[in-house]
């Protein structure tokens, strides 16, 4: 069954791993410590998986440890439900932080003390310039900023104001604590960045203890330093923040000196990985929830039937680089397909059933045939399937007037029924509207198991289910949630939602073995794709999600698009 086995750690080399190796070789580092630092303001997505595999993977490969640290400095956006979901998803992906679960909020007192330390050294000041004015004073990329009048306050005044900020004397947004660096710096992040803001808000962990909160920029590097993180790995957008982090580390009595390295975030075609947009998708009802199988969240991918090993394999294949790029959907689907091909049991299911009666099969008799569970995995064994006079095949596998390249069933033609017999179509039965409702066929008893002793060949092998024991099912076929490779590039991202992202099919039939399928277990419907039982299922109502089709339809679609 699609298992949650432990990470396959045959990882490739990349520039970050090279840096870690060089640090170890030179003795600059003895124990490698990394961390994955999510903000608990949404669910983890496939982009986070890249970061998780990188951070936890490096710790594993170099015998170090990786912390899970919640960057919970933004109490108005955070929620305990997100913290719980994040822990569940990291574990599901196959990683373990052991006892190293931390929160930036664990360090609020230490961070506060360090803020006072900066004030005492004349390196931070309280600014009560109104926000709009402060923004104007910041300058632009081409013009230097202007010093705030508050920059010249004495240490005593600053300490007094900062303590009163903390004591709750001032309303939200009326004052901030800023680092005193350089308003003329070419790097905007060094133009006296905000370190603390006033926010009278209850925090999920610290409750009402604080009404001032550190900014991400102030909390992040110091949290790394407290935890002894040696390699602080983040995405490229923080490259310009590194001089600020280094400045803070240099001026504070921190217990260790983390170094930050930046890599390119994962961008995936047809996919949005902004938590803000994912939140909108959920809240505006465009999807059924954070775990809707069309969502790129780990919860959505899990519900869709993607095994964690496929995510790890994908991340291994795309590698880690310093240049931004967009990964093709085909590459993602390949990784999923390749992983499932190795582990998913094969089953038979018919999505659009067409009845087929075998006229020379004795009424009421059944044969028990042997079907292979997974040709890629001999240890998966075989199972028994019952065959009888009435079966169902896929409507698409029959054409009354087939064009030249259609090799499947047609009047007068012989094909193989998988694991069963050769059959020949003798007659087509239609309803009053001219719609084909039944095929009358004959079978060749000498071809049991699917081979003709006389060596005669057929052009096609069809899957089928037996009418006597087939189980009804609903099947949800998922397509890309967005209709264009770069959603939102031309305006509102919601305008690019695809109307065809979900095709819900009823009246499907599956072989009886699937009646005992487990939620979260992904199987291959032979000749169709990979499918997974949805948690919406009940014993009376089976619902399957398509994880991914068997063929690489995306490569084809795109080739056609390019050719246009």
Name the residue nearer to ligand ATP (CB basis): 72 or 127.
Answer: 72
Mark whether 275 is an active-site residue. yes
Residue of 159, 254, 273, 452 that binds ligand ATP (CB under 6 A): 273
Residue 511, C-beta contacts closer than 8 angstroms, at least 6 positions apart: 347, 348, 349, 385, 465, 466, 469, 470, 471
Name the residue nearer to ligand ATP (CB basis): 238 or 406.
Answer: 238
294 binds ligand ATP (CB under 6 A): no
3-class DSSP assignment, residue 393: strand
Helix (H) or strand (E) holding 275: helix 275-283
Mark whether 265 is an active-site residue. yes
Name the residue nearer to ligand ATP (CB basis): 68 or 336.
Answer: 68
Residue 493 tokens, joined: 């991202």
C-beta of residue 438 within 8 angstroms of C-beta of residue 422: no
Residue 223 Cβ, how far from ligand ATP at the closest point, in Å? Answer: 12
342 binds ligand ATP (CB under 6 A): no
Residue of 20, 32, 47, 478 that binds ligand ATP (CB under 6 A): 47
Of the candidates 235, 281, 270, 241, the one whose C-alpha atom is nearest the C-alpha of residue 52 is 235
Residues forming beta bridges with residue 444, ordered by sequence position: 422
Residue 540 tokens, joined: 């009376």
Residue of 14, 39, 160, 552 that binds ligand ATP (CB under 6 A): 39
Residue of 147, 235, 366, 498 that binds ligand ATP (CB under 6 A): 235
Residue 553, C-beta contacts closer than 8 angstroms, at least 6 positions apart: none
38 binds ligand ATP (CB under 6 A): yes
- Burial class for 298, CB neighbours closer than 10 Å (0-12, 13-18, 19+): buried
Residue of 265, 342, 352, 418 that binds ligand ATP (CB under 6 A): 265
The site that binds ligand ATP (CB under 6 A) totals a number of residues, namely 14
345 binds ligand ATP (CB under 6 A): no
266 binds ligand ATP (CB under 6 A): yes
Residue 534 Cβ, how far from ligand ATP at the closest point, in Å? Answer: 27
50 binds ligand ATP (CB under 6 A): yes
Name the residue nearer to ligand ATP (CB basis): 203 or 463.
Answer: 203
Name the residue nearer to ligand ATP (CB basis): 38 or 305.
Answer: 38
Which candidate in 138, 205, 265, 484 is catalytic?
265
Name the one range near ligand ATP by CB under 6 A: 36-44, 121-129, 318-326, 551-559.
36-44
Name the one range near ligand ATP by CB under 6 A: 167-175, 176-184, 270-278, 405-413.
270-278
C-beta of residue 425 within 8 angstroms of C-beta of residue 410: yes
d(C-alpha 297, C-alpha 85), whole Å:
11
Residue nearest to ligand ATP (CB): 47
Helix (H) or strand (E) holding 462: strand 461-462
48 binds ligand ATP (CB under 6 A): yes
In the numeric block, the tokens 């939620």 are attached to 519
Residue of 234, 315, 473, 481 that binds ligand ATP (CB under 6 A): 234
C-beta of residue 270 within 8 angstroms of C-beta of residue 46: no
**How many of the other CB atoms lie within 10 Å of CB of 2?**
24
d(C-alpha 53, C-alpha 58), whole Å:
8
Residue 173 Cβ, how far from ligand ATP at the closest point, in Å? Answer: 21
259 binds ligand ATP (CB under 6 A): no
Of the candidates 64, 65, 91, 94, the one whose C-alpha atom is nearest the C-alpha of residue 312 is 94
d(C-alpha 198, C-alpha 155), whole Å:
20
Angle between helices 108-120 and 155-166 (to 10 degrees): 160
In the numeric block, the tokens 């068997």 are attached to 550
Of the candidates 248, 205, 202, 209, the one whose C-alpha atom is nearest the C-alpha of residue 72 is 205
d(C-alpha 88, C-alpha 177), whole Å:
36
Residue 267 Cβ, how far from ligand ATP at the closest point, in Å? Answer: 7
304 binds ligand ATP (CB under 6 A): no
d(C-alpha 486, C-alpha 560), whole Å:
18
Which candidate in 175, 275, 302, 476 is catalytic?
275
Name the residue nearer to ligand ATP (CB basis): 201 or 264.
Answer: 264
Name the one range near ligand ATP by CB under 6 A: 32-40, 357-365, 430-438, 445-453.
32-40
Name the residue nearer to ligand ATP (CB basis): 273 or 399.
Answer: 273
Name the residue nearer to ligand ATP (CB basis): 166 or 242.
Answer: 242
Name the one range near ligand ATP by CB under 6 A: 47-55, 87-95, 395-403, 547-555.
47-55
Residue 514 tokens, joined: 């699937």
C-beta of residue 145 within 8 angstroms of C-beta of residue 137: yes
Active site residues: 39, 265, 275
- Interface residues toward ligand ATP, by CB under 6 A: 37-39, 47-48, 50-51, 234-235, 265-266, 273-275
């Amino acid at each position: 069954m699609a298992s949650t086995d432990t990470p396959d750690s045959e990882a490739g080399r990349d520039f970050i791993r090279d840096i870690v190796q060089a640090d170890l070789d030179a003795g600059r580092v003895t124990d490698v410590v990394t961390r994955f630092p999510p903000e608990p303001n949404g669910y983890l997505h496939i982009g986070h998986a890249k970061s998780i595999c990188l951070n936890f993977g490096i710790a594993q490969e170099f015998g170090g440890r990786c912390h899970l640290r919640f960057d919970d400095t933004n109490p108005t956006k955070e929620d305990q439900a997100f913290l719980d979901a994040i822990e569940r998803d990291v574990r599901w992906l196959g990683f373990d932080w052991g006892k190293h679960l931390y929160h930036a909020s664990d360090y609020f007192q230490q961070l506060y003390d360090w803020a006072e330390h900066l004030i005492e050294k004349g390196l931070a000041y309280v600014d009560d310039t109104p926000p709009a004015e402060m923004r104007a004073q910041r300058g632009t990329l081409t013009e230097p900023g202007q010093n705030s009048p508050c920059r010249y306050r004495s240490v005593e005044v600053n300490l007094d104001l900062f303590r009163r900020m903390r004591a709750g004397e001032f309303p939200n947004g009326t004052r901030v604590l800023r680092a005193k660096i350089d308003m003329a710096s070419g790097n905007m992040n060094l133009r006296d960045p905000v370190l603390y803001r006033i926010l009278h808000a209850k925090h999920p962990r610290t409750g009402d203890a604080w009404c001032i909160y550190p900014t991400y920029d102030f909390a992040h590097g110091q949290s790394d330093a407290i935890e002894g993180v040696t390699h602080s790995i983040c995405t490229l957008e923080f490259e310009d923040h590194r001089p600020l982090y280094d400045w803070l580390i240099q001026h504070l009595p921190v217990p260790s000196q983390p170094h930050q390295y930046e890599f390119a975030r994962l961008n995936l075609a047809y996919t949005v990985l902004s938590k803000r947009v994912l939140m909108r998708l959920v809240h505006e009802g465009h999807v059924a929830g954070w775990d809707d199988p069309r969502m790129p969240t780990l919860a959505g991918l899990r519900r869709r039937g993607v095994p964690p090993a496929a995510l790890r394999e994908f991340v291994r294949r795309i590698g880690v680089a310093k240049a931004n790029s967009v990964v093709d959907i085909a590459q993602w689907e390949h990784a999923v397909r390749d992983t499932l091909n190795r582990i998913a049991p094969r089953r038979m299911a018919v999505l659009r059933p067409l009845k087929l009666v075998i006229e020379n099969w004795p009424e009421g008799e059944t044969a028990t045939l042997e079907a292979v569970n997974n040709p890629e995995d001999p240890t998966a064994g075989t199972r028994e399937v019952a065959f009888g006079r009435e079966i169902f095949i896929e409507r698409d596998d029959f054409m009354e007037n087939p064009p030249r390249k259609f090799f499947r069933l047609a009047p007068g033609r012989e094909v193989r029924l998988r694991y069963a017999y050769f059959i020949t179509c003798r007659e087509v039965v239609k309803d009053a509207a001219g719609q084909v409702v039944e095929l009358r066929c004959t079978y060749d008893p000498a071809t049991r198991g699917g081979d003709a002793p006389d060596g005669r060949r057929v052009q096609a092998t069809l899957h089928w289910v037996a009418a006597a024991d087939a189980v009804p099912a609903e099947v949800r076929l998922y397509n890309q949630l967005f209709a264009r490779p770069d959603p939102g590039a031309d305006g509102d991202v919601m305008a690019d939602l695809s109307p065809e992202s979900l095709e819900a099919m009823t009246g499907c039939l599956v072989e009886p073995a699937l009646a005992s399928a487990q939620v979260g277990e992904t199987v291959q419907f032979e000749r169709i794709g990979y499918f997974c039982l949805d948690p919406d299922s009940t014993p009376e109502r089976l619902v399957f999600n398509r994880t991914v089709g068997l063929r690489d339809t995306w490569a084809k679609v795109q080739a056609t698009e390019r050719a246009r």
